[in-house]
Amino acid sequence: MKQFRQIAERMAKVMLTLSGGVTSLAILLIIIFLFKEGLGLFNSAAVENGYALCIHSSNPTQQLSPWQIKRIFDWEITDWSEVSEKKGEITPFRLDEIFAMYPEDEFGEDYELLPQKLGETIAQNPNIIAFLPEQYLPNGNQSVKVLPVENINIADFFGGKEWLPTATPSPQFGALPLIMGTLWVSFFAILIALPFGLGVAIYMSELAGTRTRKFLKPTIELLAGIPSVVYGFFGLVVLVPLIQRTLNLPVGETAFAGSLILAIMALPTIITIAEDAMRSTPRAMREASLALGATPWQTIYKVIVPHASSGIMAAVVLGIGRAIGETMAVLMVTGNAAVMLTSLFQSVRTIPATIAAELGEAPAGGAHYQSLFLLGCILFVITMIISASAEFIAKKDHNKGI
């Protein structure tokens, strides 16, 4: 029997070691895949894949940024002097315009003459900038110059204020509105959830009777298991119309609605962890405080809360992590407008909501697909920092600050 027990123990040890190794390897491979796909965005051209920009060979313009290209084709930049040394009104040109200029039979049966006609059109207009498929470029025409296009760079991604990944000819991958929207919605969610969560934790730990505590504890923990889409439906049906009517807003899908939903979802985490931290305060410390003449309330905020401060901070940090990574509930109540947030009462979009809404429509391997993976990398880094902070805070000396 002893020999069998030793064999069983060794097998269990090997299986646990193997399980831990496989899990660690899987996590490492996921991280490598995530960053490999995401960082590939910076090797993508700023113009839509398979297309190029052509100008007249006499045009001295050397390069255009994605921001300038978009505004030229949106007719917001109308003169070459705004982007280069050349002067003259810019003439944006797209492929479909050529079919209104020539009869159909002049392009040939398989459009083999289309590049020639495009070259003639560009040669006749020194101020033109044409957005054309690479397969129809008039490469042999000396009057045509293909404009070099820079790759998407880090500054454009992290500092850009427009998220329009489907825009043509130059998609806009400005992630700043999404990052700011995620951080602000999560920040205000914690501002709302912290006082309520701390208050309930104090009540359950110090004031509630045994029967009340036994009822509230599992009930609150049960709230953490409710699917986020259910919270989203609640927010969409109840909170959004209430916010719109109460605050007289044009729409109720706002950052404030997202913060309220996230606050409700973060409450079980904050309450449970903070209450456990408070209940871990030694009974001797409570009795010593009361014996010295302190009131129960003085004991709570001068002894128990300082002693449990590390656990409370860990609860807050984990609550923030819960809020930042939330997807469906936020997707349903925030309006999904990828704009720079100037007010808590306007629509906003977060990183998880963007990934959930757009990943199914992004072509695999394309710039849009890679940009969503890069957003996932940002979210991974944020949550990793939060988890590391929670781990650090939880290990601090509980007696510090008393």
pLDDT tens digits along 285-323: 888 888 888 888 888 888 888 888 888 888 888 888 777
Domain ranges (residues) in the chain: 51-150, 176-394
Q: Decide if pLDDT at 393 tops 70.
A: no
CB 129 within 8 A of CB 80: no
pLDDT of residue 402: 44
Architecture of domain 51-150 in this structure: 3-Layer(aba) Sandwich (3.40)
Q: How far is residue 252 from each of residues 93, 125, 324, 330, 346, measured CA to CA in Å?
A: 41, 50, 21, 13, 8
Confidence category of residue 399, pLDDT binned at 50, 70, 90 = very low
Q: Is the peptide bond before 169 cis (omega within 30 degrees of 0)?
A: yes
Strands (DSSP E) found in 103-253: 128-133, 144-147, 163-164, 172-173
Of 308, 321, 327, the C-alpha closest to 394 is 308
| Spatial distance between the Cα atoms of 342 and 101, rounded to a whole number of angstroms | 46
Domain 176-394 fold is MetI-like fold (1.10.3720)
Q: In this predicted model, what pLDDT tens digit does every residue of 314-351 receive, in sequence order?
A: 888 888 877 788 888 888 899 888 888 888 899 999 99
Q: Decide if pLDDT at 397 tops 60.
A: no
Q: Decide if pLDDT at 375 tops 90.
A: yes
Backbone angles phi, psi at 212, to 5 degrees: -65, -45
The three state secondary structure string of 285-324 is HHHHHHHCCCCHHHHHHHHHHHHCHHHHHHHHHHHHHHHH
Share of the chain above pLDDT 90, in %: 25
pLDDT of residue 394: 62
Whole-number average pLDDT of the chain:
86
